[in-house]
Amino acid sequence: MAFTLHINDKAPNFDLIATDGIRYKLNDFKSSKLLVIFFTCNHCPYVIGSDEDTRAIADKYIPNGVEFVGINSNSANTYEEDDYDHMVTRMEENDFPWVYLYDETQEVAMAYGALRTPHYYLFNEARKLIYIGRAVDNPRDTSKVQVRDLERAIDEYLAGKEISVPVTNPIGCNVKWDGKDKHWMPADACDLL
């Protein structure tokens, strides 16, 4: 079995603390029509470069019943700025329109097969995976974006169409696994295409 979830796989459950001090489970987002779960962090230049673009996407679709959940699974032992306290500060400074969860044990990243930051997963109402990969083709410099994969997938789903490109490769830094070199990835982790 490949490391990362496949199209039509069910979203794995989680129970994680958010920057607001509340613990959230997958079921806490059951009322949303679509759920975007994305693996992110505090330090990655691809995340920082695309934060405002991700905010714009969230602001565009939240009124249509789409909910956004960011998960930081990076080891704070690799980059101290990826710890929980820095997450709280980051949310206070940026007021992002998503819940920001801390996966300190990295069990959720393993369950989803998170490869990079950022890495986006789009789930339908039944919480089956309908899109996985990148949000845009140039997350580090969104002024150069030519392809908006996540928005296309959301638009197609909301219009009752089949997702034309359900899988893309995420673009960004690899997840920082605890106790490993900062460039290490699990042996069965690979590009999605």
Q: What is the pLDDT of residue 1?
A: 42
Nearest to 137, CA basis, from 111, 172, 101 = 172
* Structural domain spans, the chain: 9-174
Residue pair 100/74 in contact by the 8 Å Cβ criterion: no
Residue 190 pLDDT grade (very low, low, confident, very high; cuts 50, 70, 90): confident
Over residues 130-139, the pLDDT tens digits come to 999 999 999 9
Residue 189 pLDDT grade (very low, low, confident, very high; cuts 50, 70, 90): confident
Distance separating alpha carbons of residues 76 and 3, to the nearest angstrom = 23
Whole-number average pLDDT of the chain = 96
Q: What is the pLDDT of residue 78?
A: 96
Q: Where are the beta strands (DSSP E) in 111-177?
A: 116-117, 119-123, 129-133, 173-174
Reading the block at residue 153, the tokens are 């997938």
Taking residues 22-45, report their average pLDDT: 97
Q: Where are the beta strands (DSSP E) in 8-133?
A: 15-18, 23-25, 34-40, 66-72, 99-102, 116-117, 119-123, 129-133
Neighbouring CB atoms inside 10 A of 33's CB total: 14
CATH code assigned to 9-174: 3.40.30.10
Taking residues 14-21, report their average pLDDT: 98
Q: What is the pLDDT of residue 147?
A: 98
